[in-house]
């Protein structure tokens, strides 16, 4: 599938219309969905209406922005009025939001054409998209394997060329992990850069929306459209948004010497040797491009996972208290009084992993345990933040593998939650510190599965992150390889 820039050019020169682009995406979705199952809802009619409006604008001679007329998919935890927003949960099976999330509004304002809502782990809790109550999404590189999670549908849709770009959300790695498993670019922005208004809350102090694209430029263009201050989100940052896509430079030397730190703690036991090799090659490539490489120790990094699995479930247990069968979606049939209706609704409406998180979170927040678990985890969070602060006093960017392995087989880890949780070992600390992180393809293993390189910058340095990733991409060819479907 062509890049946003190429598609934009085709629209401007009237070589193709927005309706044709939307139809092409819809046709591709129709052909591939029986294999991939990336979408929970396809918005054919709305997409074609939106595209028609774009074509009228073009015909009237109006100037169009880079995203105008570009098909895009959105993870099904972002509210879209008139279209169900299920979070891949049975408890929200009939929920049609009466309001629009800020990100989808911004996409529409930019003229993007939303083609559908994508599959995810229920309430974004998971690393493989296997926790969806509705369907299993396949990895386009090997359909017996998972696409990663929780934004697996959005990643598979882009990797499988069902649409050029998509949105995901990342609480502990849910954009970067599926980007890595599916061989595409995925960016989790600085906490607060993109509004969370209308994003169904999982763990509010960690959640952040970001783009998937086949190239860094595509991701930059989408980020530019969705970032920015929103008075409807109290954690939204009031900062000026640079034109990320215009800042992309072809080389690393344009801004003086770039210092890159390798996070020592992300290499070692548990890391797949082929991932290790590919990531190290990518780092020497960055060195050849002119970066100064050093190793950096983040000693508290290894406590990220346990701290996260206290903080995220605690916040989730509070956020998910609202699903009681009264206000939203599903309600259990039987139940002779209010309490038993609540209990039956939640017992039948939530899946196993969501229940596990609610129980862990409720326990960690209960009187007597709060100090021992929640407070302790928050202190660990501060230590991790300090590790990063120290690191960014010495270097401009940090690198690590995105994930310890390549995509695993469907069913391989579902019985063992801890081994599933370990997939996010390298991405979680970035969320705990509120930093931006990006995953970019940096190779393939012997089975032909993509490997991802994670780049991390200091807060609000998405410009630098994207520039370096772009230079790496333009001097390598990993992003040009596509799965045969
Ligand atoms: N896999 C992690 C979890 O299950 C991260 C999920 C996410 O980023 N949404 O919580």
The catalytic residue among 89, 150, 169, 317 is: 150
- Centre of ligand 1 to C-alpha 177, Å, is 9
Verify whether ligand 1 is closer than 6 Å to residue 125 (CB atom).
yes
Instruction: Give the per-residue pLDDT at 327.
Output: 86
pLDDT digits (tens, 9 = 90+) for 131-141: 999 999 999 99
Instruction: Give the per-residue pLDDT at 254.
Output: 62
- 127 Cα nearest atom in ligand 1: 1
| Domains of the chain from N-terminus onward | 4-253+437-453+462-480 (3.90.1300.10)
Verify whether ligand 1 is closer than 6 Å to residue 171 (CB atom).
yes
pLDDT digits (tens, 9 = 90+) for 49-68: 999 999 999 999 999 999 99
Verify whether ligand 1 is closer than 6 Å to residue 172 (CB atom).
yes
Which of 131, 171, 187 has the most ligand 1 atoms within 8 A of CB, as the residue to mutate?
Answer: 171
- Centre of ligand 1 to C-alpha 174, Å, is 5
- Centre of ligand 1 to C-alpha 81, Å, is 25
- 124 Cα nearest atom in ligand 1: 9
pLDDT digits (tens, 9 = 90+) for 439-465: 999 999 999 999 999 999 999 999 999
- Centre of ligand 1 to C-alpha 138, Å, is 18
Put simply, whether the predicted model's pTM sits higher than 0.85 gets the answer yes
Verify whether ligand 1 is closer than 6 Å to residue 203 (CB atom).
no
CB 396 within 8 A of CB 423: no
Instruction: Give the per-residue pLDDT at 255.
Output: 59
pLDDT digits (tens, 9 = 90+) for 213-256: 999 999 999 999 999 999 999 999 999 999 999 999 777 776 57
- 420 Cα nearest atom in ligand 1: 1
Tell me what the mean pLDDT of segment 204-208 comes to.
98
The catalytic residue among 174, 245, 317, 423 is: 174
pLDDT digits (tens, 9 = 90+) for 84-114: 999 999 999 989 999 999 999 999 999 999 9
Residue 163 confidence (pLDDT) above 70 = yes
Q: How confident is the model at residue 341 (pLDDT cuts 50, 70, 90)?
A: very high
CA gap 27, 173 in Å, rounded: 31
Which of 149, 154, 434 has the most ligand 1 atoms within 8 A of CB, as the residue to mutate?
Answer: 149
- Centre of ligand 1 to C-alpha 15, Å, is 42
Nearest Cα residue to atom 5 of ligand 1: 172
- 353 Cα nearest atom in ligand 1: 4
- 308 Cα nearest atom in ligand 1: 10
- Centre of ligand 1 to C-alpha 171, Å, is 5
- 125 Cα nearest atom in ligand 1: 4
Instruction: Give the per-residue pLDDT at 191.
Output: 98
Q: Annotated catalytic, 409?
A: no
Verify whether ligand 1 is closer than 6 Å to residue 130 (CB atom).
no
Q: Annotated catalytic, 297?
A: no
- Centre of ligand 1 to C-alpha 17, Å, is 38
Q: Annotated catalytic, 17?
A: no
- Centre of ligand 1 to C-alpha 417, Å, is 12
pLDDT digits (tens, 9 = 90+) for 73-86: 999 999 999 999 99
């Amino acid at each position: 599938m062509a890049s946003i820039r190429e598609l934009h050019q085709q629209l401007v020169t009237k070589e193709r219309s927005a309706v044709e682009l939307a139809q092409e995406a819809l046709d591709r979705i129709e052909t591939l969905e029986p294999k991939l199952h990336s979408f929970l809802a396809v918005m054919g009619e709305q997409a074609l209406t939106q595209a028609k409006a774009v074509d009228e604008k073009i015909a009237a001679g109006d100037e169009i922005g880079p995203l105008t007329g570009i098909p895009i998919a959105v993870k099904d935890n972002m509210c879209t009025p008139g279209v169900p927003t299920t979070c891949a949960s049975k408890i929200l099976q009939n929920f049609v939001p009466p309001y629009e999330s800020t990100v989808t509004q911004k996409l529409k304002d930019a003229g993007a054409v939303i083609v559908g809502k994508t599959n995810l782990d229920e309430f974004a809790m998971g690393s493989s998209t296997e926790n969806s109550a509705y369907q299993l999404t396949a990895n386009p590189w090997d359909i017996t394997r998972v696409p990663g999670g929780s934004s697996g549908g959005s990643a598979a849709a882009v990797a499988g060329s069902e649409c050029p770009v998509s949105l995901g959300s990342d609480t502990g790695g849910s954009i970067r992990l599926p980007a890595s498993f599916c061989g595409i670019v995925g960016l989790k922005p600085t906490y607060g850069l993109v509004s969370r208004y209308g994003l169904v809350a999982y763990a509010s102090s960690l959640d952040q929306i970001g783009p998937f694209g086949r190239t860094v430029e595509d991701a930059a263009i989408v980020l530019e459209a969705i970032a920015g201050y929103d008075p409807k989100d109290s954690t939204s940052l009031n900062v000026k948004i640079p034109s990320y896509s215009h800042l992309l430079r072809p080389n690393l030397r344009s801004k003086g010497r770039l210092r890159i730190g390798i996070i020592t703690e992300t290499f070692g036991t548990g890391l797949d040797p082929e991932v290790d090799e590919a990531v190290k090659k990518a780092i020497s490539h960055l060195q050849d491009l002119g970066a100064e490489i050093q190793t950096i120790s983040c000693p508290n990094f290894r406590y990220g996972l346990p701290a996260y699995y206290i903080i995220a479930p605690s916040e989730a247990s509070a956020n998910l208290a609202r699903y009681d069968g009264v206000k939203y979606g599903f309600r259990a049939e039987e139940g002779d009084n209010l309490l038993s209706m609540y209990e039956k609704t939640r017992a039948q409406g939530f899946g196993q992993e969501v229940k596990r998180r609610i129980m862990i979170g409720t326990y960690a927040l209960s009187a007597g345990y709060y100090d021992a678990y929640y407070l302790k985890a928050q202190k660990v969070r501060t230590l991790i933040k300090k590790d990063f602060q120290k690191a960014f006093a010495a270097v401009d960017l940090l690198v690590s593998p995105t994930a310890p392995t390549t995509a695993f087989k469907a069913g391989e880890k579902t019985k063992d939650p801890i081994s599933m949780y370990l997939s996010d070992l390298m991405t979680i600390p970035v969320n705990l510190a509120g930093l931006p992180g990006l995953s970019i393809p940096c190779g393939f293993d012997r089975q032909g599965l993509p490997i991802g390189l994670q780049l991390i910058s200091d807060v609000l340095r998405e410009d630098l992150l994207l520039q370096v990733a772009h230079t790496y991409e333009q001097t390598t060819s990993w992003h040009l390889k596509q799965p045969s479907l």
